[in-house]
């Protein structure tokens, strides 16, 4: 079969760019260590009757976040990509040695699946969705059939599919393995020539790893700051674009994201070039909507002696429209909790967002974007004591900006409350990173 860069295709699909720009009006949707399976006591993807010395040479491929590993054919080229909310994807390519062989594996939090689908209620739904996303646009079609699924230690359920893969006039095989834990889904999809897939299935094994958050570093901390919007967008714009560049994406493939990013920055932020981008990032870190909120409260003479009930009564006397009323209450609650840092987390989180868009737009390099995001992360540590505080300030900021109550479960603000709650509960989610880690330049 003709070689396909499945990772590139998967990475770019379902990316809805939301910028959460400077206007408080909604911006729209154009910008915000025994290996499991190898033990004789368990089922395995390997053919148990075959002697180990006759098996194809294998190699371990560990995800970039350290949450899982895949045992597969030796000497594949691994390309990593960070998914929203701490998930991780690996592309495994056969290169010249195994032409046409391509694999994709991933771990995704159930609340932050790539592409942000809203109808995934089971492992079966996830498997159908993720295989469609993986193969869409690749020129490869597969007629899937159920097959026996090897067990996986730590998983609540597993399933496996096999099928004939068609690409033009060529055909081969495809294999998919899927598993779920309490908070995550896992997937391995392989496509290639008959012989390569047969060999791969003999040795394929997936293993869930523990302690990944212990090894998390500065980039993981920064990803935590943008995790909510990355999840809403379906992926990190920064990491998606970087992975596509590193994987050899064509100019046309990159331009799909670049054009959206430039449009988002222009329409939602008024950013047209590199100078505008850095000025906006500096404004977010120095003032942002946080200063707007504080100034708004000052107009009502808010001070430490004013109780919330008194402030609420004062607002009602003004006959304000519903959105402004909600916005001011959110500002008050944030100020009461965090003082002059009231909704600064909302601003600091968006530093990463606009710089990711700026990098994709060509307004800055990856290193320049990451350096500025490191400044934002350092300030976040100075202002807040924990992820819980950062996230609460972020949510107050979103409520202030969107003029939506955090208590309204049907609003976008209520949806973000649930999203944060779900991600905070993930064992290896974006907020499992130690808040007090030493932030250093690691790129």
DSSP secondary-structure letter at 32? -
CA dist 27 and 403 (Å) reads 13
At 85 the pLDDT is 60
Radius of gyration of the chain (CA): 24
Say how far apart CA 355 and CA 372 lie, in whole Å.
Answer: 8
| Structure tokens given for 417 | 């409350």
Mean pLDDT of 176-197: 94
Q: What is the mean pLDDT of residues 192-209?
A: 95
For 72-104, what is each residue's pLDDT tens digit? Answer: 999 999 988 767 666 788 999 998 889 889 999
Distance CA 236, CA 16 (A): 10
Nearest Cα to 264, choosing from 59, 20, 82? Answer: 20
Handedness of CA 158, 163, 168, 170 (dihedral sign): positive
CA distance 12 to 133: 10
pLDDT band at 15 (very low <50, low <70, confident <90, very high): low
Mean pLDDT over each residue of the chain, to the nearest integer: 86
Residue 28 pLDDT? 29
DSSP 384: -
Calpha distance 31→112 (Å, rounded): 18
Q: Which two tokens stand for residue 208?
A: 């869930």
Q: What is the rounded CA–CA span in Å between residue 21 and residue 347?
A: 10
Q: How many CB atoms lie within 10 A of CB 30?
A: 14
Q: What are the phi and psi torsion angles at 157 (to 5°)?
A: -160, 150
Sheet of 205-208: strand order equals 58-62, 68-73, 205-208
| C-alpha distances in Å from residue 416, one per residue of 120, 133, 250 | 18, 24, 35
| pLDDT over threshold 90, residue 373 | yes
Token pair of 61 as six digits: 């491929």
Q: What would the two tokens of residue 406 be?
A: 């955090």
For position 42, what pLDDT does the model report? 37
Q: How many residues does the chain have?
A: 443
Calculated CA dihedral for residues 52, 56, 59, 61, nearest 10 degrees: -110
What confidence category does residue 37 fall into, taking pLDDT thresholds of 50, 70 and 90?
A: very low
Residue pointed to by tokens 């060999």: 199
Residue pLDDT, tens place only, 112-152: 888 778 789 999 999 999 999 888 878 889 999 999 999 99
pLDDT digits (tens, 9 = 90+) for 45-56: 444 444 556 899
What's phi and psi for 322, nearest 5 deg?
-60, -40
Q: What is the token pair recorded at 249?
A: 């994406």
Q: What is the pLDDT of residue 289?
A: 97
For 58-81, b where at least 16 C-beta lie within 10 A, e where not — what string?
A: beebbbbbbbbbbbbbeebebbbb
Q: Which residue has the higher pLDDT, 248 or 174?
A: 174
Answer yes or no: is pLDDT of 12 > 60. no
- Work out the burial of residue 375: count CB atoms within 10 Å of its CB; fewer than 13 is exposed, 13-18 middle, 19 or more buried: middle
What pLDDT score was predicted for residue 17? 58
- Token pair recorded at residue 141: 């079609």
339-368 pLDDT tens trace: 999 999 999 999 999 999 999 999 999 999
Q: How many helices (H) and strands (E) does the chain have?
A: 15, 10
Decide if pLDDT at 216 tops 80.
no
Q: Read off the tokens for 96.
A: 């010249």
For residue 409, how far is the Cα from the chain centroid? 23
DSSP for 321-387, please give it: -HHHHHHHHHHHHHHHHHGGGTTHHHHHHHHHHHHHHHHHHTSS-HHHHHHHHHHHHHHHHHH-SSH
Residue 35 has pLDDT above 60, yes or no: no
311-329 pLDDT, tens per residue? 999 898 888 999 999 999 9
pLDDT of 8 reads 45
The pLDDT tens digits of the residues spanning 413-438 come to 999 999 999 889 887 788 988 999 99
How much is the pLDDT for 65?
A: 83
321 Cβ neighbours under 8 A, 6+ residues apart:
none
Whose tokens are 């020539």? That residue is 193
How far is Cα 266 from Cα 363, in angstroms, rounded to an integer? Answer: 12
The structure tokens listed for 220 are 């993981």
- The kind and range of the H/E element at 188 are strand 184-192
Distance CA 300, CA 307 (A): 13
């Amino acid at each position: 079969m003709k070689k396909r860069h499945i990772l590139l295709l998967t990475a770019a699909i379902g990316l809805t760019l939301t910028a959460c720009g400077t206007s408080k009006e909604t911006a729209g949707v154009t910008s915000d260590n025994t290996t499991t399976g190898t033990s004789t006591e368990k089922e395995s993807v390997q053919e148990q009757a075959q002697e180990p010395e006759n098996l194809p040479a294998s190699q371990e491929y560990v995800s970039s976040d350290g949450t899982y590993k895949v045992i597969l054919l030796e000497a594949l080229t691994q390309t990593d990509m960070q998914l929203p909310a701490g998930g991780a994807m690996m592309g495994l390519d056969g290169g010249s040695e195994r032409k046409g062989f391509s694999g994709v594996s991933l771990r995704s939090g159930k609340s932050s699946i790539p592409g942000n689908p809203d109808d995934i209620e089971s492992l079966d739904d996830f498997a159908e969705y993720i295989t469609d996303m993986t193969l869409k646009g690749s020129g490869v079609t597969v007629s899937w059939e159920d097959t026996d699924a090897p067990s996986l230690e730590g998983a609540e359920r597993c399933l496996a599919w096999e099928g004939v893969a068609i690409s033009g006039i060529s055909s081969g095989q495809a294999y998919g393995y899927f598993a779920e834990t309490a908070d995550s889904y896992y997937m391995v999809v392989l496509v290639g020539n008959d012989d390569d897939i047969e060999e791969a299935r003999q040795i394929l094994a997936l293993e869930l790893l523990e302690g990944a958050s212990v090894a998390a570093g500065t980039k993981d901390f920064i990803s935590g700051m943008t995790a909510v919007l990355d999840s809403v967008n379906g992926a990190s714009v920064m990491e998606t674009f970087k992975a596509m560049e590193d994987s050899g994406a064509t100019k046309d493939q990159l331009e799909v994201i670049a054009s959206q990013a430039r449009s988002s920055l222009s329409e939602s932020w008024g950013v047209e070039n590199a100078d505008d981008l850095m000025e906006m990032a500096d404004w977010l870190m120095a003032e942002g909507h946080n200063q707007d909120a504080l100034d708004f409260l000052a107009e009502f003479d808010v001070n430490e002696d004013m109780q919330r009930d008194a402030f609420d009564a004062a607002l009602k006397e003004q006959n304000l429209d519903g959105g402004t009323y909600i916005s001011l209450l959110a500002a008050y609650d944030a100020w009461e909790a965090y003082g002059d840092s009231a909704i600064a987390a909302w601003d600091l989180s968006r530093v990463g967002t606009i710089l990711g868009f700026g990098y994709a737009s060509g307004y800055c390099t990856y290193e320049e974007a990451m350096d500025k995001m490191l400044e934002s992360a350092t300030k976040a540590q100075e202002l807040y004591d924990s992820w819980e505080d950062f996230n609460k300030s972020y949510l107050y900021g979103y409520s202030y900006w969107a003029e939506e109550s955090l208590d309204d479960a049907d609003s976008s603000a209520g949806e973000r409350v649930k999203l944060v709650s779900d991600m905070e509960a993930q064992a290896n989610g974006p907020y499992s990173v130690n808040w007090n880690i030493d932030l250093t330049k690691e790129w």
